[in-house]
Amino acid sequence: MKVSVNWLKELVAVDLEVEALARALTMGGLEVEEASSIGGAFTGIVVGHVKKVLPHPNADKLRVTEVDAGTGELLQIVCGAPNVAEGQKVPCALVGARLPSSQGGTGNQTVLEIKKAKLRGIESNGMLCSARELGLSDEHAGLLVLSPQAPVGADVREVLGLGDTIFTLKLTPNRGDAQSMFGIARDVAAITGARLTLPEAKPAAATIPDARAVKISEPGACGRYLGRVIRGIDSSKRTPDWMARRLERAGLRPISPLVDITNFVMLERGQPMHAFDNAKLAGGIDVRFMKPGERVKLLNGDTIDYRPDLLAITDERGPVGLGGVMGGFDSMVGEATTDVFFEAAFFHPEAIQGKARELSLTSDAAHRFERGVDFEACFGAMERATQLTLEICGGAAGPVTRVDAALPGRESVTVRPPRVVELVGYRIEVEAMRDILERLACKPRMSGEGIAATAPSWRFDLAIEEDYVEEIARIHGYDHVPDTPPRSSVPMLRIADGRRDRFDLRHALAALGYQEVINYSFVPEEWERDFAGNAAPVRLANPISSQMGAMRTTLLGGLVQALRANLNRGEARVRLFEVGRCFEGAAADISVQPERVAALAYGSRSPEQWGEKSTLVDFFDAKGDLEAIAAGRPLEFAAGAHPACHPGRCATVLWRGRAVGAVGELHPRLQQAYELPTPPVVFELVVEPLLEGNAPRFGGLSRMPVVRRDLSFEVAQELPVGGILEALRKGRPAWVREVEVFDQYRGKGVEPGKKSLALRIVMQDTDRTLTDSEVEEIVTSIREQLSQQFKAKPRT
């Protein structure tokens, strides 16, 4: 929301400097995000009247003008603007005037001083200015043409009202009342105590009987509808400069008088309006939902087909606009319009909310209606629009047609002073509370329990006692909150012995060289199909963008997207991880929200260096990193499949016999689809197994020698090594410290369908040296277990 400080001060008599006013608004909950001055820093520019325009004798693109600048004599000025014409009022920089000028394209401001000069042999005594040279806009294709009523010789800064500041407010979604100058002025008056003067629109007398019948078929969607016919208007009239300036400073572009009037009324009073070409309407107006088979072409050219619960403004032929969203193309006003039908209505917020976004539309009207518009503002808005139309375009007004349906109720809420003190944390006098509610137009009255307050028609965010408490604290001033440190006892939380926290898990991944990323829980539907094999994801009814329409069931899509962003910026070696929740419930119930950890490694195994040959990461790197962060927790691995992984380079991660995740190389199909030069390796699993308690057990340091024996044997090629090691470790004697595979071989000397494994067995006792017979007994038992359980054949 852009707010003109000059316009604001016309509505509320606030005597504060711009900086103080900006701070007061911000501390009152209406954050001033930016304050910018209107116009550049110039001097010596006045209103000039172009009396004569002649061609330049030595240049086709230049003109020689004679200009009355109020100096008592006509000034000869050479001008290159293509739109210069006799009779115009334009900004004229006199000799000695100073204008800001950018040099060299660097944006550095320098001062340009106007001097007498000769342009192609013709003397020039000044310069005629464009909007860009005044710092008003980037438009420099021609002169800035002023109002014909602008007094000759007057300071352009005063004529254009350039001593103004524009506040850009960052409003919270619940403050629909602050989407207008009236709304901002009410808040400024409440915050500062200044006198509020909101102009009333005097009712226009009906001088013609013409009216159009109105019907509300959906009272739950439209609570009030006002319409008025005005005949005999002149649409070719020019929008007054004062109105055009106010529209431009609010961020709107002046279009035509009728459109500009409705936009101005919306900015002033917060009531969106629409102007129909009355000649293009047939019969009465009906506010109803669209019917199957109906369609409407909107002002922006989009054609909207029937949708359930889509509110339409209709005549006898069908829809002529979408209620509270946008008017129709076929009934819009134009230069040929002579009769207009003005609409001012109240649409219930719940009937408008989300409709513009569903239709991919941007609408100032919908932005306001879905937040709540003052349902009593329709009358003043209609009269104000009528007044401005008659003043600018002429014509004769008919009577106002008014239909009321279901309007929002305004129930009294009791605000208990002790509850206010309890919630805000410091004492506020009861009389001060009552005064604040009075300034907010909440009609406070003292009752036995406290202060009874009723929200005004423009406040849709005041419903319960806590809402009023928040308003009291806001207007009383957050500066009054005492700086009192809290004093309380905090009991220590009971933590399971040895249980790991998530920070330790993150630190473990960071220690391995991974960088943490945090992605949205909303993802494109194709990510769910690609990375989770999920053809029916949980879809959002109101996504923040069309590319983020589903809830994620996997973290891998976000990691691959982050990898692509890094590759596009020249990073060749990437390590990323994320810890976050996924959503695996049905569309009606997403209560199943497991927390997952996922990681991705791409590029070379080690950073580039001279001492080691560069090799790409593979499956075993990802598996090794997962085992490293598990830190001895009992994870198991078995050959498996995952929609995002290479079918032959993927393993299922098991915990207590249950599948909890997967590790593997990205599927070639996804590598190609996401344009990755080489495949990354990934793992993803639920967090819980990695947080399980795993307290270290301390034992005595043995001084006895270590005994190592190596066994070599052949087993079936399809037997997983992990399964063999798991079986040997579970049944090992107490003296066996370590059982590991240190070599694997296939080829000459090994039977087809077999593989040779070399096993390292490390034995040690803490009290004595193991005898040869004890060592051989252990080795023999391991050989027998290999033979019986895995049909292993010893190699010599």
CATH number, domain of 789, equals 3.30.70.380
Q: Comparing 696 with 175, which gets the higher pLDDT?
A: 175
Q: How many domains does the chain have?
A: 6
User: How many whole angstroms separate alpha carbon 32 and alpha carbon 26?
Assistant: 6
Assigned domain for 663 exists: yes
User: How many whole angstroms separate alpha carbon 91 and alpha carbon 94?
Assistant: 10
Q: In terms of DSSP H, where are the helices of 85-180?
A: 156-159
> 584-629, pLDDT tens digit by residue?
866 546 668 899 999 999 999 988 888 888 899 999 999 999 999 9
Structure tokens at 748: 């000459």
* Shared-domain flag, residues 361 and 298: yes
Q: Cα separations (Å) of 187 from 113, 181, 191, 290, 672? A: 44, 10, 6, 38, 57
At 722 the pLDDT is 82
Instruction: Specify the range with the lowest mean pLDDT, choosing from 1-15, 654-668, 732-746.
Output: 732-746
Q: What is the mean pLDDT of residues 639-659?
A: 92
**E strand or H helix at 587:** none
Instruction: Specify the range with the lowest mean pLDDT, choosing from 265-279, 494-508, 637-651, 668-682.
Output: 494-508
User: How many whole angstroms separate alpha carbon 28 and alpha carbon 178?
Assistant: 12
> Is the pLDDT confidence value at 484 over 50?
yes
Q: In terms of DSSP H, where are the helices of 89-236?
A: 156-159, 181-192
> Is the pLDDT confidence value at 717 over 70?
yes
User: How many whole angstroms separate alpha carbon 81 and alpha carbon 71?
Assistant: 23
* Shared-domain flag, residues 258 and 363: yes
- 3-class DSSP state for residue 640? coil
Assigned domain for 488 exists: no
> Is the pLDDT confidence value at 498 over 70?
no
- Quick one: pLDDT band at residue 241, thresholds 50, 70, 90? confident
At 4 the pLDDT is 94
Assigned domain for 298 exists: yes
Q: State the residue range of the domain holding 422.
A: 414-480
User: How many whole angstroms separate alpha carbon 228 and alpha carbon 392?
Assistant: 17
Q: What is the mean pLDDT of residues 197-223?
A: 94
CATH number of the structural domain spanning residue 378: 3.50.40.10
At 453 the pLDDT is 96
Q: Cα separations (Å) of 494 from 497, 498, 500, 681? A: 9, 12, 13, 38
> Is the pLDDT confidence value at 107 over 50?
no
* Shared-domain flag, residues 50 and 83: yes
DSSP state of 505: H
- Give the per-residue SS3 of 665-680: EECHHHHHHCCCCCCC
Q: What is the mean pLDDT of residues 466-480?
A: 94
Instruction: Specify the range with the lowest mean pLDDT, choosing from 66-70, 213-217, 609-613, 662-666.
Output: 609-613
Among candidate residues 404, 426, 451, the one where a domain is terminated: 404
User: How many whole angstroms separate alpha carbon 456 and alpha carbon 444?
Assistant: 11
User: How many whole angstroms separate alpha carbon 161 and alpha carbon 10?
Assistant: 13
* Shared-domain flag, residues 242 and 384: yes
The answer to whether 245 and 161 are in contact (CB under 8 A) is yes
* Shared-domain flag, residues 622 and 724: no
DSSP state of 14: -
Assigned domain for 436 exists: yes
| 415 DSSP β-pair partners | 451
Buried b (16+ CB within 10 A) or exposed e, 50-82: beebeebeeeeebbbbbbbbebeeebbbbbebe
> 385-413, pLDDT tens digit by residue?
999 999 999 999 999 999 999 999 999 99
User: How many whole angstroms separate alpha carbon 420 and alpha carbon 470?
Assistant: 9
Place of tokens 């996804």: 670
At 697 the pLDDT is 66
* Shared-domain flag, residues 680 and 559: yes
What is the average pLDDT value for the chain, to the nearest integer? Answer: 91
* Shared-domain flag, residues 33 and 138: no
Among candidate residues 379, 404, 429, the one where a domain is terminated: 404
Q: Comparing 559 with 585, which gets the higher pLDDT?
A: 559
At 137 the pLDDT is 73
* Shared-domain flag, residues 267 and 331: yes
At 497 the pLDDT is 65
Assigned domain for 409 exists: no
CATH number of the structural domain spanning residue 476: 3.30.56.10
At 535 the pLDDT is 87
User: How many whole angstroms separate alpha carbon 189 and alpha carbon 383?
Assistant: 25
> Is the pLDDT confidence value at 554 over 80?
yes
At 587 the pLDDT is 53
Assigned domain for 683 exists: yes
Beta strands in 612-706 (DSSP E): 635-639, 645-655, 658-666, 681-686
* Shared-domain flag, residues 440 and 475: yes
Instruction: Specify the range with the lowest mean pLDDT, choosing from 103-117, 160-174, 728-742, 776-790.
Output: 103-117
Among candidate residues 691, 725, 751, the one where a domain is terminated: 691
> Is the pLDDT confidence value at 108 over 80?
no
- Quick one: pLDDT band at residue 666, thresholds 50, 70, 90? very high
Q: Count the Cβ atoms, other than its own, within 10 Å of residue 699.
A: 7
User: How many whole angstroms separate alpha carbon 42 and alpha carbon 331?
Assistant: 45
Q: What are phi and psi of 387, to 5 degrees?
A: -55, -50
* Shared-domain flag, residues 678 and 733: no
Q: Comparing 125 with 796, which gets the higher pLDDT?
A: 125
* Shared-domain flag, residues 652 and 666: yes
The answer to whether 136 and 144 are in contact (CB under 8 A) is yes
* Shared-domain flag, residues 618 and 541: yes
Work out the percent of the chain whose per-residue pLDDT is above 90. Answer: 72
| 586 DSSP β-pair partners | 589
> Is the pLDDT confidence value at 273 over 60?
yes
Q: What is the pTM of this model?
A: 0.68
- Sheet with 31-37, strands from edge to edge, namely 2-4, 165-170, 31-37
User: How many whole angstroms separate alpha carbon 69 and alpha carbon 90?
Assistant: 10
Residue 593, exposed/middle/buried by CB under 10 A (0-12, 13-18, 19+)?
A: middle
Considering Cα of 623, then 624, then 629, then 633, what sign does the dihedral take?
A: positive
> Is the pLDDT confidence value at 104 over 50?
no
> Is the pLDDT confidence value at 233 over 50?
yes
> Is the pLDDT confidence value at 66 over 90?
yes
CATH number of the structural domain spanning residue 569: 3.30.930.10
Q: Cα separations (Å) of 596 from 473, 500, 501, 505, 584? A: 41, 15, 14, 12, 12
User: How many whole angstroms separate alpha carbon 391 and alpha carbon 261?
Assistant: 11
Assigned domain for 52 exists: yes
Assigned domain for 339 exists: yes
Strands 522-523 and 550-551: antiparallel
